[in-house]
């Protein structure tokens, strides 16, 4: 078989697939992924709490609990404090102000620094802070009413503080979205297990021996497993685009969080006098790539929102060669469609190891046209609906599944849209063999 396409598995945490075999149980993978995203969420929350407590909380406390006073700058100094981790520096200004008709003097500083309590890791940065004040000039200070010697003076926050804030926010979003995805996947696996068990009991009660006769054919959905509205069975959507989107979305969050951290580091060095412009340009390039990545994610979300969901229902399963079945398709959204074509396709897949990776090669081996419509518009709240017949030829190959080979039948909905890239959505069906007759494909 000459393969027409190759697919890789991306963002599979703790579950390296080899065909239908996994090197770790789904339960262990569930708890491992849950732990990873929980750690990411906790790291983001800890970082966010540190930033809030050291950058934003002091200002909020001052404007709500302290007394604002207009003061005169008399002196300036840099307070140095040494520790085992190294020396830190706090720029301070001696200010004079009036409280209750009495003139007081106190050393004031800006407490909003990453190290907390006004300390900076570099003397040059402290000198630049003092450079924003002028001896004999006026400034607005906030005086603690309970302790008159505690005086704060607030400067305008540098713009890179907001970039630093984006890093823990990205971790919080990444961890929260990841936790939601893992929990939802766990619920779907549990539901799938229940559906499989109920389907097995239903088949046994009905006296069906298909699982014993054809163990390599996947079990079909019944009207009890996935009931439809217009027809008995609603077909599930294969999550090809959605799964890839979540993988790229999480990757973009990690990339942007890391790139903004590097940019903040580079800008802090420039602000401290270490003018490494090459490193700063490299950090800016990383941020530009991340912005383009987020733009692509935004385009995907806008496209999916405009297109809307697709519903496919069928009158019965499994499909038997030579049989006729009714199909219902509904397309929601708000978009102009140049062409909508629906086909029944058969795809042959081969799964094999290549080094440390597992590859899946696939080729479309049959395509049966079912429905076609051109030049129409789908409006919000008014879906496009269509009923048509599916006549399955007598000699087609039945569905097949083994550890390394698969024959997969799907209903393919292809949409060519105005102003958007074409969209393909697949809905799997199961074909059983006839009791007799020649098989061709």
What CATH number is attached to the domain comprising 226?
2.60.40.640
Q: Is residue 194 part of a domain?
A: no
pLDDT of residue 6: 37
* DSSP letter for each residue of 252-266: HHHHHHHHHHHHHHH
Least confident of 104-118, 180-194, 411-425: 180-194
Any residues with CB less than 8 A from the CB of 206 and at least 6 apart, and which? none
pLDDT beyond 90 at 422: no
Q: Is residue 169 part of a domain?
A: no
Q: Both 279 and 405 in a single domain?
A: yes
The residue to which tokens 């491992």 are assigned: 32
Q: Is residue 43 part of a domain?
A: no
Per-residue pLDDT band for 333 (boundaries 50, 70, 90) equals: confident
The average pLDDT across 269-284 equals: 68
- Segments forming the whole domain that contains residue 121: 49-162
Q: Both 73 and 149 in a single domain?
A: yes
User: Mean pLDDT for the chain?
Assistant: 78
pLDDT of residue 402: 87
The residue to which tokens 């569905």 are assigned: 399
pLDDT beyond 70 at 207: no
Per-residue pLDDT band for 194 (boundaries 50, 70, 90) equals: low
CATH number at residue 94: 2.40.50.140
Q: Is residue 20 part of a domain?
A: no
Any residues with CB less than 8 A from the CB of 28 and at least 6 apart, and which? 14
DSSP SS3 for 249: helix
Q: Is residue 147 part of a domain?
A: yes
pLDDT beyond 60 at 9: no
96: left (phi over 0), alpha (psi -120 to 50) or beta: beta
Q: Which of 131, 162, 193 is the last residue of a domain?
A: 162
- pTM value? 0.49
Which H or E run includes 186? helix 160-206
Report how far apart, in Å, the C-alpha atoms of 381 and of each of 228, 305, 331, 355, 438 are.
Answer: 19, 13, 11, 50, 47
Q: Is residue 41 part of a domain?
A: no
Q: Both 217 and 132 in a single domain?
A: no
User: From CA 131, how far away is CA 118, in angstroms rounded?
Assistant: 16
Q: Both 158 and 215 in a single domain?
A: no
Q: Both 297 and 415 in a single domain?
A: yes
The average pLDDT across 413-429 equals: 84
Q: Both 410 and 339 in a single domain?
A: yes
Q: Is residue 186 part of a domain?
A: no
Q: Which of 130, 162, 194 is the last residue of a domain?
A: 162
Q: Both 137 and 234 in a single domain?
A: no
Q: Which of 139, 162, 185 is the last residue of a domain?
A: 162
pLDDT beyond 60 at 94: yes
Q: Both 85 and 234 in a single domain?
A: no
pLDDT in tens, 149-186: 889 998 877 666 676 777 778 778 877 877 887 777 66
pLDDT of residue 360: 77
Per-residue pLDDT band for 26 (boundaries 50, 70, 90) equals: low
Q: Both 148 and 228 in a single domain?
A: no
Q: Is residue 355 part of a domain?
A: yes
User: From CA 220, how far away is CA 82, in angstroms rounded?
Assistant: 72
Q: Both 151 and 275 in a single domain?
A: no
Q: Both 273 and 396 in a single domain?
A: yes
Q: Both 156 and 233 in a single domain?
A: no
pLDDT in tens, 377-410: 888 778 899 999 999 999 898 899 888 888 999 9
46: left (phi over 0), alpha (psi -120 to 50) or beta: alpha
Number of domains forming the structure of the chain: 2
């Amino acid at each position: 078989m000459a393969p027409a396409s190759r697919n890789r598995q991306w963002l599979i945490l703790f579950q390296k697939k080899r065909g239908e075999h996994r090197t770790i149980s789904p339960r262990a993978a569930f708890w491992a992924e849950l732990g990873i995203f929980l750690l990411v969420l906790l790291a983001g929350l800890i970082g966010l709490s540190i930033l809030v407590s050291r950058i934003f909380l002091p200002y909020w406390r001052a404007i709500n609990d302290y007394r604002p006073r207009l003061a005169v700058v008399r002196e300036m100094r840099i307070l140095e404090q040494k520790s085992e981790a190294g020396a830190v520096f706090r720029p301070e200004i001696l200010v004079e102000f009036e409280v209750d008709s009495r003139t007081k003097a106190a050393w004031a500083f800006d407490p909003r620094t990453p190290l907390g309590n006004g300390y900076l890791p570099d003397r040059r940065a402290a000198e630049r802070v003092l450079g924003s004040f002028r001896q004999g000039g006026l400034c607005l200070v906030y005086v603690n009413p309970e302790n008159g010697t505690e005086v704060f003076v607030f400067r305008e926050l540098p713009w890179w503080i907001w970039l630093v804030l984006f890093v823990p926010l990205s971790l919080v979003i990444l961890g929260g979205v990841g936790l939601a995805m893992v929990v939802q996947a766990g619920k779907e696996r549990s539901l799938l297990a229940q559906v499989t068990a109920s389907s097995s009991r239903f088949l046994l009660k009905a006296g069906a021996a298909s699982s014993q006769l054809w163990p390599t054919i996947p079990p079909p959905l019944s009207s009890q497993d996935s009931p439809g509205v217009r027809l008995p069975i609603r077909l599930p959507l294969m999550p090809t685009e959605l799964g890839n989107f979540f993988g790229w979305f999480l990757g973009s969050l990690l990339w942007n969080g890391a790139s903004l951290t590097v940019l903040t580091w580079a800008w802090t060095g420039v602000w401290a006098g270490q003018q490494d412009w090459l490193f700063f340009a490299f950090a800016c390039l990383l941020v530009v790539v991340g912005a383009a990545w987020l733009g692509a994610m935004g385009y995907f979300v806008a496209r999916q929102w405009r297109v809307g969901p697709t519903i496919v229902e069928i009158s019965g399963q499994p499909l038997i060669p030579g049989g006729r079945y009714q199909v219902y398709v509904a397309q929601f959204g708000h978009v102009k469609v140049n062409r909508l074509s629906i086909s029944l396709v058969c795809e042959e897949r081969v799964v094999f190891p290549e080094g440390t990776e597992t590859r899946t090669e696939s080729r479309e081996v049959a395509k049966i046209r079912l429905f076609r419509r051109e030049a129409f518009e789908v409006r919000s709240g008014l879906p496009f609906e269509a009923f048509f017949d599916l006549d399955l030829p007598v000699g087609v190959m039945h569905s097949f599944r083994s550890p390394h080979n698969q024959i997969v039948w799907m209903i393919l909905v292809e949409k060519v849209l105005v102003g958007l890239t074409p969209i393909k959505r697949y809905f799997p069906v199961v074909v059983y063999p006839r009791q007799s007759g020649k098989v061709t494909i």
